[in-house]
Amino acid sequence: MLEQNPNPHIRVFAVWEPILLTDYSSPSAGVLARLSDPRVEQYWDKNHLFAEQLARRLKSDPDHPRPRCCDESGIDWDEVAVYRQDVYWDDQLPRAVFLDGPVVHVLGFANTVTELLSKPTNSKQRLENSQSISGSSILFAPLKQARDTNDLPPSKSTNTTS
């Protein structure tokens, strides 16, 4: 997906977690090298903290996309979640626009990413405007607003990312 889409406005967070018997240690250099793009950040989540956050969100949000796979003793894994540009993670993980697995079978998430990139959100536009107007208090206001409205569909405003 990253090879086919050189857009710098994509950020990938690879969260490795121990699921299988052979996952006795953090991922080796060989495993990490499989995600070699500089837009990737890699994490070793031994205690499934991210999966817990995701499970909490899924529990509290019946309209959240549901993955068709994969759950190991209540822990989500081998899944991909895609988040819009304007959502903010505060107390709770924001709603994903795409959540499914196993990763190798849901490469269609790349289409979701492309769609989102072609429809930048209002908050991004407002963020850019606010940067040219004033200081940090106004700078972060659009993020808060985006957080408050993160369940709304993405805006179809002017394209600023492509």
Partner 1 sequence: MSGWKTTAASLGATVTSLLTLGCCLPLPFLGAAGLAGASVFLSAARPWLLGLSVIFLGAGFFQVYRGMKCRARQSRIALILLGLAAVLVVFMLFFPQVLAGLLADISSQQKVPAGQPSLSSLTSENFDQLRAAFNKASGDVRVVLLLSPT
Helices 136-148, 122-133: axis angle to 10 degrees equals 170
- How near is the Cβ of 63 to partner 1 at its closest, in Å? 19
User: Could you give the CA distance from residue 11 to residue 129 in angstroms, rounded to a whole number?
Assistant: 23
- How near is the Cβ of 68 to partner 1 at its closest, in Å? 14
- How near is the Cβ of 149 to partner 1 at its closest, in Å? 14
Q: Are 16 and 45 in contact (CB under 8 A)?
A: yes
User: Could you give the CA distance from residue 143 to residue 88 in angstroms, rounded to a whole number?
Assistant: 7
CA trace torsion 25, 28, 32, 33 (10° rounding): -170
Q: Which residues contribute to the site for partner 1 (CB under 8 A)?
A: 1, 8-20, 22-23, 25-38, 40-47, 49-51, 54, 76-89, 96, 101, 103, 109, 113, 116-117, 123-124, 127, 143, 146
Nearer to partner 1, 23 or 134 (CB): 23
- How near is the Cβ of 77 to partner 1 at its closest, in Å? 5
Tokens of 126: 């407002």
Nearer to partner 1, 32 or 138 (CB): 32
Helix or strand or coil: residue 33?
Answer: coil
| C-alpha Rg value of the chain to the nearest Å | 17
- Residue 133 buriedness (CB in 10 A; 0-12 / 13-18 / 19+): exposed
Nearer to partner 1, 51 or 64 (CB): 51
Nearer to partner 1, 117 or 138 (CB): 117
Nearer to partner 1, 64 or 82 (CB): 82
- How near is the Cβ of 13 to partner 1 at its closest, in Å? 5
